[in-house]
Amino acid sequence: MAALPTSSKTVNDFREWKAFGTGGTPPTWAGYMRMSKLRARRALSKNNNLRDPAPLQKTGPSYLPTGTLPLRSGPRPRMMPRTLPQRQYPEPIDPSVQARLRALVRDLATAHPELFDLMPSHTEGRTTDGLYARRNLPTLNPLAGDRILSYEIAHMHPAENSLHVWLSDVDAREVIEKGWGQRFPLPAVPQGWVMVYAPRDEAEMDIVEGVVRAAARWVTGVMV
């Protein structure tokens, strides 16, 4: 049996990672070591700046309403140091905004049962609700059955109010360029799967909702 890490720094880091939430990675020493290897591998990669949209295509379909995505005000949020789960440090958020954010994917699924299923997010280890496209849609994006994302459109992270959403490359690029999010750190996942920062007020919540609706249209082929 392999020896477990014993340094106080490693033990404390493991405890903090486990306490905050592991984003679907098993909350064990084996899961922690897997996450740590991913962090080391990303540090050695040629393009580990997740705020750089260069890997995303510049041309292709776009579903964000034209001219509706302004520059995000202020600095980007400070990110947690671990590769997985991909999280920002929590920022103040009005309770009404948080309530609206937490209800977003549920409300979309309820309003459009012919398009969406609401299920535990498999990309988050079933720790939060995910919005999924129904697999029998005639308008479904042929890419929707990706082996990793598997029809998932979006989910939010209750611990700090950020989201992951699946956008077209063009829309993902705009979200990053305008300061609203950043790329996902694992190259095996489609490039349009991006982190969207937590909204701080109602105006930003409107933007985030528009981004999620654009993701829904990209995957389902239907405007919502």
Rounded-to-integer distance, Cα 92 and Cα 98, Å:
10
In the chain, where are the structural domains located? 8-43, 95-220
- Does residue 1 carry a pLDDT above 50? no
pLDDT at residue 40, rounded to an integer = 56
Close Cβ partners of 163 (under 8 Å, ≥ 6 residues apart): 154, 155, 156, 157, 195, 196, 198, 208, 212
Are 166 and 149 in contact by the 8 Å Cβ rule? The answer is yes
Nearest-CA neighbor of 171 among 73, 94, 71, 66?
66
Tokens representing residue 114 in the block: 């012919």
Rounded-to-integer distance, Cα 57 and Cα 170, Å:
6
pLDDT at residue 43, rounded to an integer = 56
Rounded-to-integer distance, Cα 95 and Cα 201, Å:
10
Q: Which residues pair with 159 in a beta bridge?
A: none
What amino acid is encoded at 149 in this protein?
L
Which of 16-20, 71-75, 189-193 shows the lowest mean pLDDT across its residues? 16-20
pLDDT, tens only, 79-95: 998 888 999 999 999 99
pLDDT at residue 5, rounded to an integer = 53
HSE at residue 213, side-chain half, CA atoms within 13 A, is 16
pLDDT, tens only, 193-217: 999 999 999 999 999 999 999 999 9
> What secondary structure, in 3-state letters, does the chain show?
CCCCCCCHHHHHHHHHHHHHCCCCCCCCHHHHHHHHHHHHHHHCCCCCCCCCCCCCCCCCCCCCCCCCCCCCCCCCCCECCCCCCCCECCCCCCHHHHHHHHHHHHHHHHHCCCCEEEEECHHHCCCCEEEEECCCCCCCCHHHHCCCCCCEEEEECCCCCCEEEECCHHHHHHHHHCCCEEECCCCCCCCCEEEECCCCCHHHHHHHHHHHHHHHHHHHCCCC
- What's the whole-number mean pLDDT along residues 47-75? 93
pLDDT at residue 12, rounded to an integer = 76
Rounded-to-integer distance, Cα 202 and Cα 198, Å:
11
Q: Which residue has the higher pLDDT, 67 or 36?
A: 67
Are 176 and 194 in contact by the 8 Å Cβ rule? The answer is yes
% residues pLDDT > 90 (the chain): 74
